[in-house]
Structure 1
Amino acid sequence: MAGSTANDRPFAALDRSGRTRRLRRLAEAALTDYDVPVARLTPLGHGHNTTFRVDGADGHRYVLRVQRPDGPSAAQVRSEMAWLATLCRETDLVVPRPVPTRARDLVTVVADPAVPEPRACVLCHWVEGRFVDERLSPPQLYALGEFTGRLHLHGARMNGLDRGRVDDLTEFGRSQVDGFSDAVLERAVAQAGGDARVRAAVERARAVRAELGCGADVFGLVHGDLRQHNYLFRRGRVRAIDFDDCGFGHFAYDLAVTIGELGHLPQRAELRAALLDGYRSVRPDAATTDRAVLAAFAELRQAQLRLR
């Protein structure tokens, strides 16, 4: 009797490369739903989601994203794509432009016998640019601040989309009516081994959220993960990618994520100031850029990352 092969092994038992190979087959099946002549399919990464670069025989380049099974639902992914499509139609902000299927859907759900569950897949046009990270300059952060401000102006008008809250504390919190309830908080503190810092961070965030309220001047649809790996530059212009974590929340949360990811850079103070100056040039709103407000959301973000 022949020994078992990699194709016989359960998906969960495979290493990263093995899972990517299985998902590549699923990605190839997904691409048949699009009117795109595929010349080459190249894996880009396997993290929360799995992405592939698609080089088209038409000379265009695309990104295909295969969603994780425990992430946003197909309806929520469709809402993400709807926001991106609206941004491309109504603004000159450079974000991924979704490619509709032949059936004019922004999402396709594909199954493969080698993958244990169907996966939602989306295809977007490639966004050109380069990541900067350690070489970020104040003018670049000023431009990012302007970009973020304009993104929030648009997000303030995007009501009715099926997206959750970006500031819910845990996965359990997302399943509750109130993602900041006492029950959610107690489970989060227990998950953190009783760490009182989690409780303090949540209580500060509760107070700030209550003080800010949810008016369109401070609250709306936001990117949710605007860190260095998700914004790039080309010819002096900012481009943002990976809206998978987008959802409803306070605009200050988005800024706090960006600021928090600058902490390893020696010029972080200058970069922070430039980011906020650029943002205020579009949205001169003291509440969103208030230092205490940003600090509270930064602490909340750190608690969220710890509890994932």
Structure 2
Amino acid sequence: MFSEIDYEVIAKESLKSYSIIYEELVYLGKSDNVTFQVNTFDEGLKYLIKIHISTNSIKTKNVIESELIWLEALARESNLVIPTPVRNLKEELITEISTINNEEKINMTLYNWVNGEVLNREPTKNETTSLALLMAALHKHSIQWNIPEDFKRPIYDSDNLYTSLSQLKELLNLELITREDFAIIEESVRKISNVIESQKSSQNSWGIIHSDLHESNYVFYNDSSRPIDFSNCGHGFYLFDIAETFMHLSIENRKIFISTYSNVHLLQENYIEVLEAFFIWSIVRTFAFHTLNPDEHKSLSENFPSIIQNYFIKYLREENFLLS
């Protein structure tokens, strides 16, 4: 197990592959990636380093590279401010670095830093409008973009939903949720799977999505929203992208978001029904992700009963909850 100092050594070694003169590295955190902010002697020029430590299959080299290919396309073909990848001296998107003991190689990527502030509160009306326009712009690009043949990213479909359910079952095995509550989750997942299978994967409904645009993955700069951390981007329904963001918005802001987004991107007639199904899917996916961290188990156990009551049971009873 590497320490923060070990990762800093790896980060400094990787920067030798770039034409960058840096002043200091600032450790940001560790999850699927270890991240550092790279400060240069020019106060306005910063970078982000990602050291890819996850052994998850979606983090293989060709999958990571596909994420960066989309980011490069967004940088070329849209007006969005995004974490644009920086190619190394060999013009490669990914730099392979040997570990300290030289036993394995680690993938490392570098991005231009996106200036802005993370909101530690509910967005205002204007901020929500900006966020909706941001998502509409991402989807507009996705609709028009010709995906390369060797593009490899996760697919958010029924299989992905059931994978999350399997991960979530760990809470049942650890007796952190009741069998009754897990049965409700299973029934909800079956119903959501039917909704997923009934959707038409048309150009206007399905494409490359961010899939994780919550309050920690967008920043605001001069009242304009900017997306960051595309590490979970993949193939999915545009409504699933919205549902993920809705998990972190109030009902009033969800209404503002839908009103703004629909002026740019036409929504299907039964969008509320589908959004509510995908909203529950987003909860399953989010809680499943947190089961991987034992430090989160106590919080998950405490929160699940109210989540079951407020969302899953209402969903199974076909009581609208997303916009009312």
TM-score bracket for this pair, using the shorter chain length: 0.7 to 0.9
- If the length of structure 2 is used for normalisation, what is the TM-score? 0.78
Cα distance, 1:236 vs. partner?
Answer: 2.2
String of CA shifts for 1:215-252, please: whole Å, max 9, x gaps.
11111100011000111111221100000011111111
Residue identity matched to 1:50: V
Q: 1:241 to 1:162 in 2, by over 3 A?
A: same
1:84 aligned partner: 71
Residue of structure 1 aligned with 2:124, choices 131, 134, 137? 137
Percent identical among aligned pairs is 24
1:67 corresponds to which letter in structure 2? H
Question: Is 1:103 the counterpart of 2:90 in the alignment?
Answer: yes
Output aligned runs, 1:6-45, within 5 Å: 11=1, 19-45=3-29
Alignment of 1:47-196 (within 5 A): 47-59=31-43, 60-71=45-56, 72-114=59-101, 117-156=104-143, 157-159=145-147, 160=149, 161-167=151-157, 178-179=159-160, 187=166, 190-193=169-172, 195-196=182-183
Aligned partners of 1:143, 1:185: CA distance in 2, in Å? 31
Confirm or deny: 8 A CA contact 1:185 1:202 kept in the other structure: no
SS in 2 for 1:97: coil
**d(CA) in 2 for partners of 1:282 and 1:115?**
51
Q: What is aligned with 2:281?
A: 300
Describe the superposition over 1:84-131 as per-residue Cα deviations: whole angstroms up to 9, x where unpaired: 111010000111111110111111121222586422111111101112
Deviation of 1:149 (Å): 1.0
Aligned alpha-carbon RMSD (Å):
2.2
- Deviation sequence 1:158-197 (CA, Å, 0-9, x none): 52421011456xxxxxxxxx5467xx68855754535113
8 Å contact 2:10–2:97 — kept in the other structure? yes
| TM superposition outliers: structure 1 runs of 4+ over 3 Å | 114-117, 178-181, 184-192
Q: 1:133 to 1:290 in 2, by over 3 A?
A: farther
Deviations 1:143-166 (A, max 9, x none): 111110110121233524210114
C-alpha contact 2:132 2:261 (8 A) present in aligned 1? yes
Shift of 1:39: 1.3
Q: In structure 2, do the counterparts of structure 1 residues 84 and 120 end up closer, same or farther at CA, with 3 Å as the change threshold? A: same
**Which residue number corresponds to residue 291 of structure 1?**
272
- Which is worse superposed, 81-90 or 197-206? 197-206
Partner of 1:273: 255
Equivalent residue letter for 1:205: I
Following the alignment from structure 1 to structure 2, what is the Cα–Cα distance between the partners of residues 45 and 238? 23
- Read off the aligned partner of 2:18 and give its amino acid letter: Y
Query: What 5-or-longer segments of structure 2 have no aligned partner?
Result: 173-178, 290-324
The residue matched to 1:105 in structure 2 has which SS? coil
In 1, Cα distance between the equivalents of 2:220 and 2:287?
Answer: 30
> Where does structure 1 lack aligned partners over 5 or more consecutive residues?
1-10, 12-17, 169-177, 263-267
> TM-score, normalised on structure 1?
0.82
Shift of 1:283: 0.1
- How many correspondences in the alignment? 275
Whether contact under 8 Å (1:220, 1:248) holds in the other structure is yes
Q: State the SS of the aligned residue for 2:9.
A: helix
Query: Partner of 1:134: helix, strand, or coil?
Result: coil
Partners of 1:186 and 1:25 in 2: how far apart?
A: 38
